[in-house]
Amino acid sequence: MLQAGHVLSWTASGQSSPDLIREEREVLANNTVRTCFIFIAFALVALTLTLACREAGKSPEDKQPQTTIPTPEGYELVWHDEFDGSTLDVTKWNIEVSAEGGGNNELQYYTDRSINCYVRNGFLILQALQERYTGPEGTRDYTSARINTRNKGDWTYGWFEIRAKLPYGKGLWPAIWMMPTESRYGSWPASGEIDIVELLGHEPDKVYGTIHYGGVYPIHLQSGGTYGLSEGTFATDFHVFALEWDTTSITWYIDGVPYQTQTSWSTQGHPYPAPFDQRFFLILNVAVGGNWPGNPDPSTSFPQRMEVDYVRVFQRIAP
């Protein structure tokens, strides 16, 4: 619809109404084309960013800003990885290669290939694939990744905090856990094991926190608890998993909320607080199949990923 102002301008210029209408239409058409090109350019940029982030399994807002690192009261930061580089920092991590099944009849071959373990967009990705793979230890129908900090990050006591999103599906078994560096009290579980978080893929809204101890296998004791989400799953959103380990207590947290504390444990032939009075190192892995989760079935989709925003270790400030 033409406005009165336009009619007045035609009269002032001496142009005929049809000529000016044609001119106005050409200007409008040019502006429309220019606007469309600008819109398409912005859309392509947004699509490129979205696809890049989706490839790594996240949106840009998932990455938390790292200008300052919040520190629990009474603690200081002693070790961390924010995964801001382009590759895994091998001064902090060891990549395990194994097809032994972790002693649990697991089905995966842990490899050091970049398709199974990589860093992208500020996140560590541990990716499980359904593929037939042959290595020095045989052939498996799944591959995955397992990394640890042994002799690169080992601690006695502290606050351990990991922000991560976990995989899901029957037969998936992601874990963030700790094992003793020297095993001073003998082989598993005499020297202990601390499971910060484990998840069974067919229960994606529930995680487990456990300690193992007792004596040399088959003398095996364990204590632990579970935490369930009221809505959503651990695969749809990032959550902060934390463990506070002191001389006589171990407490588990989800998103800052403590959900269990263990204060009683033992190991055969040694006084309390053994075995949890020695150096432990961190392990992150995605297992496929095994005695506890069972094996994948037709409902299980691949690839599956554990996505890690950061790993941080704090220790108490000396008085």
Q: Exposure of 205 by Cβ count < 10 A (0-12 exposed, 13-18 middle, 19+ buried)?
A: middle
Residue 85's Cα: distance from chain center in Å?
16
The two beta strands, 172-180 and 220-228, are unpaired
CA–CA distance, 218 with 189 (Å, rounded to integer): 9
Give the H or E element holding residue 193.
strand 193-198
CA–CA distance, 16 with 8 (Å, rounded to integer): 12
Cα separations in angstroms, 318 against 39, 70, 161, 210? 58, 19, 20, 28
- Does the annotation count 231 as an active-site position? no
Q: Which two tokens stand for residue 164?
A: 């991560």
Q: What is the 3-state secondary structure (H, E, C) of 59-88?
A: CHHHCCCCCCCCCCCCEEEEEEECCCCCCC
Please tell me which residue in 198, 203, 231, 244 is annotated as part of the active site. Answer: 198
Q: Which residues of 302-311 are buried (b: 16+ CB within 10 A; e: fewer)?
A: bbbbbbbbbb
Q: How many residues does the chain have?
A: 319
Please tell me which residue in 193, 203, 244, 307 is annotated as part of the active site. Answer: 193
Is there a contact between 135 and 99 (Cβ–Cβ < 8 Å)? Answer: yes
Q: Which residues pair with 135 in a beta bridge?
A: 138
Q: Which residues of 49-65 are buried (b: 16+ CB within 10 A; e: fewer)?
A: eeeebeebbbeeebbee
Could you give the 3-state DSSP secondary structure of residue 203? Answer: coil
- Does the annotation count 193 as an active-site position? yes
By annotation, the residues acting in catalysis are 193, 198
